[in-house]
Amino acid sequence: MVLPLEILTGNAGVSVYLFFLFIIFVVISYLTVKFMLRTLMFMMIGATFPLFLKYVLNLNIKITALTVLGYAVLGGVLYLCYAVLKTLFTTGKVVLFIIRIISFPFRLGFRVVMFLVRKIGGGGKQKSRVEKERLEVIKSVDDKEEEREEDKRKSRGSKRRKKE
């Protein structure tokens, strides 16, 4: 049998391994007890809900052991669903962060290659005829809007002169 003192003094053959195993056991036990206590707290809150309905809101409901137990279980289940969704969300964020770290050299390389292609290749791919026509239409619409704004400014100026 290996005693804690032997683990700390290094007399045991696998003292480092057992020490880390003990730390992991304590951390997992702590997290499990913490989770169970939170679940129990939500179950107690859920159990008080029918009492709240009857005595605070003055609703006419029957309070039985089954009603209280049902709301307690519902409170516990809702907390479990919340905990699972929170874990999935956190895990997803961690996975995406790891993917971003792993893919960084590839993304950087792609940007460098595209920069070089644009510089060497004469400014990128050639625009199609449809794309050119679309850009001309957008430019003409922008020009018309600028003319309208200019006309409005001129008409405002002439109104001011008339008032003076």
What confidence tens digit (pLDDT) does each residue in 77-132 have?
Answer: 999 999 999 999 999 999 999 998 999 888 888 888 888 887 786 554 555 677 77
Distance between CA atoms of residues 67 and 62, nearest Å = 8
Whether residue 36 contacts residue 80, with contact meaning beta carbons closer than 8 Å, is answered with no
> Which pLDDT tens digit goes with each residue over 41-89?
999 999 999 999 999 999 988 999 999 999 999 999 999 999 999 999 9
Using CA of residue 95, residue 101, residue 105, residue 107, what is the dihedral sign?
A: positive
CB neighbourhood size of 136 (10 A): 10
3-state percent helix, strand, coil for the chain, nearest multiple of 5: 85, 0, 15
How far is residue 141's CA from residue 138's CA, in Å, rounded to a whole number? 5
